[in-house]
Chains A and B, each alone.
Chain A
Amino acid sequence: MTKRNGEKGAGLKGAVFCAYAFVLFDACAGHQQSAVDPAGPQSGKIAVLWWFFFGLLTTIFLIVMVFTLLTLTRRGHRSGQEPLNASHLPPGADEKELTRIVAAATIATVLILFVLLIASVSTGKSISELGDKKNGMVIEVTGNQWWWHVRYWNDDPSQMLVTANEIHIPTGRPVMIRGMSQDVIHSFWVPNLHGKRDLIPSRVTTEWIEADQPGIYRGQCAEYCGLQHAHMALWVIAEPQAKFDSWMKHQLRPASPPGGPTGERGKQIFLNSACIYCHSIRGTAAGGQTGPDLTHFGSRRSIAAGTLPNTIGNLGGWITDPQGIKPGTHMATIPVSSEDLQPLLEYIEGLK
């Protein structure tokens, strides 16, 4: 009986919490970019600290509000109130008591702040200890207006993978993000994994992230970086080590040759266009460095750093009118005739 009651209570509590969290934070919906839906040890510690702060501070808020509103009931609140007495002072005894209460409240404030301070600093310390310099992976993320250049560090230069806007990581392994910037200040933020870290030109900043579970976690630039700050998203895709390894192996390969004659024609169109001044496709003559690497473009989720889902139709729209889709983008409008477009798209999308 007691046990059933307990279960019922827990279920009810869970349901109430869930309803509350749903109304407030949509947390039960399993949000793709949320600071209160942790998927890694760093964000997990932060979320625990957050709920601790949230609970304590909400309680304080309610207490202060109750006392504030109770003042209205003390001696009424008519518009014609006379002063308490000619001296405008309540009896000395009342004042003494008030002094004691206010002093106690002040001391309580200081103590609570100490508790919060200790909780905060110790959480910060334990997060900073999560990195693992020996077994950790290092991924260099460079902010650009408005996309992410990603490079996987390896002692063997031939194993250094360059890609863009998508970071695959193995689950359960600490990953150090070495942040840099090519132009203005950006900020790397994948809230389900960790807080943000600015990417500052002429500096290197670091942050350790780690994913507990396989999943796809969205992030976006959090420091205002100009016209298309809104369209600078990235995905962190966490997968089991084996799956990650095979992904890495595949990505390290040069671009696969086009599957058919249309694709082959598309390749020639690409290599003869201005596209190659900015974009690289490993295994071809295209070696531009200012735009995202396209070697395995077809395997990525989005076009233009999260602006559009990666479909052949969207890519066609993006190539023909980049300024219409992402006004201000540094992607040049390259004139492509209508008969050339289809082969070009097939080639690029075929770069799996």
Chain B
Amino acid sequence: MVIAIGFEGSANKLGVGIIRDQHILSNVRHTYVTPPGEGFLPRETAQHHRKYVLEVLQEALDDAKISLKDVDVICYTKGPGMGAPLTVTALVARTVAQLYNKPIVAVNHCIGHIEMGRLIAGTENPTVLYVSGGNTQIIAYSQQRYRIFGETIDIAVGNCLDRFARLLKLSNNPSPGYNIEQGEKLVLLPYVVKGMDVSFSGILSHMEEHLSKWLDTKAFTIEDLCFSLQETVFAMLIEVTERAMAHVGSNEVLIVGGVGCNERLQQMMNIMCEERNATLYATDERFCIDNGVMIAVAGLLQYKSKGGTPWTQTTCVQRYRTDDVYVSWRK
């Protein structure tokens, strides 16, 4: 039996999770929530993480009923993400590794989502739609790499939804994207799929530009606009996912990342899957949204196949592509 602890802090979620082999012992998260209309910035987010990281760590240990002595390997998020918040969790991970003389493993955040999703949903080789506030990628595994078949060429889909929600001054609690899931009248919006890639920033600008006109003339309600934005961007994602599945001959889809909690996205994906006789796998908000367990899961796989990360390489990087990682633990 191997016990792994994972530290996650690449964006506004701070998480520490502990697993014993494939069993989850604890999963504690603390989210930095900004006032309506405001996004989170690196410096303030890092301050939040600094303030809560030791508390969250203690709570995760208490929930798991273990001490750091019992842990076999320390895992942390190396990137991608915001530099300052990443550094906070990396520092704490390195310090506890030193204090208890434990090996440390640097984990790619995206790989964390994928491996956690595969474990929780119980799917062997799915086409993965990774959708969050910072990332939008359509991924499939081939020859020791998670290959990116399609991705956003500008902002992430979650960023597009969050920024639209902030434009309307919707609450950031639990997340702005969640609060736009309510409407029924469809506004015609730009539909931007370029080959296998998608683009969201133009849609957002289009909405910003027409927002006051739509609302002032009472042609559409706020709910209608939210509904229309969701339908449009999700349709784009489903189209590209379906094309990736056809290309690799896959009949499983896994949705991971914070936007993966969205029930409408899951519903639309399910319709596509039914039409193709494929199966949809999704997880709930405990695991979709950034958390420490996903880092422990991916870190433990990495540790079992090729050991820990050499000390001088336990840095953080803001840019770290999913396909940079050599996936030694899969055939």
Answer yes or no: are A and B bound together in one complex: no
B: residues with CB less than 8 A from A are none
